[in-house]
Structure 1
Amino acid sequence: MPELSPGTLILEPAPAGFDHLTSLDATQLGLIVADDADDEGRELVVNDGSGELHVRLPSDHTPTRSAILLPPDISFELRLDVALRFVRRLRGQRVKLLPAALRLTAFQKRRLIELLHAFDVHDAGGGPRDVAAEVLTSDHARLPSVEWKDSHARRKANRLIHDSIALVERGYLKLLRGL
């Protein structure tokens, strides 16, 4: 969904009159770590040490006369920053790290993994005790009902289930947009 992620650079064929543009050689951008094609186009993931660059090309695109698509949406500034990084790479210039909004911290990565694990447990029919035992590795999951009811592990497991459902049911869009 490149239209949702400001971290994905969308290239389109340049309009007529831009014949002076040089062709795009993806290998000059860095190490290609993924190259996937579908009915709507091709997406390259390039890594040069400063972060990953996701480039979306239309399916009928030949790597000549490319133009960058920058829709004036809520993520315009992030898209512009990604586009500038791309142009700097093409020119062989030094590239800054990805904007902070597009980088996940180690804590955010752990939290997302925890949320997805909690969702899997819940989706398979597990309840808060199962989430506490499997995701939180809490011994409180084995407490008798009276003690379990007041347990911090129970409250945290319930929050994880609630937050994981919200993430899976469209909350990931906020994550993709860097918000």
Structure 2
Amino acid sequence: MPAPCVGSNGALSIRSRRDRSSLADGGCGFAYDPDRSAVHEPVFWLPEHSPGTLILAPARGRWKSRRPFDPAAIGPILAERADANGRELIVRDISGDVHIWLTDEAAAEHPMVVVPPDGAHRLRLDLASRFIRRLLGHPVGLLPPKLRLTDLQRRHYIQLLHTADLYEEGGEPRDVASRVLHSEQAALPAIEFKDTAARKRADRLIKDAVAMVSREYLKLLRGG
């Protein structure tokens, strides 16, 4: 019997069980199950691009902490991976998901927060302060606003991703107006549709979507 499959753009399709992709199709394993919606998979960003990633390195000498860091003490571990560059974790916290990079295992025993002097150092300092308060058993509030999406922002970025998918498949402004904006103006004749608000908004969505999937998303990681 066919099984429903939800794509990364939210579209529902039907795929038979015998047509399901293997995790090793093509001669190499996929990082994630290609049949699973992208919104259900955790994402690890490079720490240099994401100020929302807490970087922990092992402290030296007199700075060695007597308080080892136990990620499970913050909350459930949603995902983790380890390689030659250390161990990365995504932990569910009451204030939001926390991304942590342990540069090596000694960082968990004697943690020291690393704050690179980049353009996002203020956000990194805020995150570091939250971590120290948590380590000392003090209460913390929500993540900084720049590291949290509002419902309005979330809906807008979903629209941009949907638009990017349509544009990549050869979609035009009328397709965006119909399938993303759900505007009745998309059904108008071409000469009338050309000057509608839906056409103008669809054009803006296409322009912003192309920029977003290129490299503009990096600005989003840094708080917009």
Percent identity reads 51
- Give the 3-state SS of the residue equivalent to 1:86 in structure 2: helix
Structure 2 equivalent of residue 151 of structure 1 = 196
Structure 1 equivalent of residue 49 of structure 2 = 4
Tell me the alpha carbon deviations over residues 98-120 of structure 1, each in whole angstroms, 9 at most, x when there is no partner: 11111111100000010011001
- Give the 3-state SS of the residue equivalent to 1:37 in structure 2: strand
In the superposition, the TM-score normalised over structure 2's length comes to 0.74
Structure 2 equivalent of residue 120 of structure 1 = 165
CA distance in 2, matches of 1:111, 1:37: 33
Structure 1 equivalent of residue 110 of structure 2 = 65
Q: Number of residue pairs matched?
A: 178
Tell me the alpha carbon deviations over residues 2-39 of structure 1, each in whole angstroms, 9 at most, x when there is no partner: 11111110111223444453322111122222223344
Describe the shift of the 1:87–1:19 C-alpha distance in structure 2 as closer, same or farther (beyond 3 A).
closer
Structure 1 equivalent of residue 90 of structure 2 = 45
Task: Give unpaired runs (5+ residues) of structure 1.
Answer: none
Structure 2 equivalent of residue 163 of structure 1 = 208
CA distance in 2, matches of 1:111, 1:64: 42
Larger RCO: Structure 1 or Structure 2 (Cα < 8 Å, ≥ 6 residues apart)? Answer: 1
CA distance in 2, matches of 1:146, 1:51: 48
User: Is 1:111 equivalent to 2:166 in the alignment?
Assistant: no
In the superposition, the TM-score normalised over structure 1's length comes to 0.92
Structure 2 equivalent of residue 142 of structure 1 = 187
- Give the 3-state SS of the residue equivalent to 2:161 in structure 1: helix
Compare 82-91 and 109-118 and name the one that shifted more. 82-91
One-letter amino acid matched to 2:164? F
Contact kept in structure 2, 1:23 and 1:64, CA below 8 Å: yes
RMSD: 1.6
4+ long deviations beyond 6 Å: none
Q: 1:80 aligns with which of 92, 115, 125?
A: 125
CA distance in 2, matches of 1:119, 1:78: 29
One-letter amino acid matched to 2:156? R
- Give the 3-state SS of the residue equivalent to 1:55 in structure 2: strand
Contact kept in structure 1, 2:58 and 2:110, CA below 8 Å: yes
- Give the 3-state SS of the residue equivalent to 1:71 in structure 2: coil
CA distance in 1, matches of 2:183, 2:83: 43
One-letter amino acid matched to 1:108? Q
Contact kept in structure 1, 2:64 and 2:111, CA below 8 Å: no
One-letter amino acid matched to 1:25? D
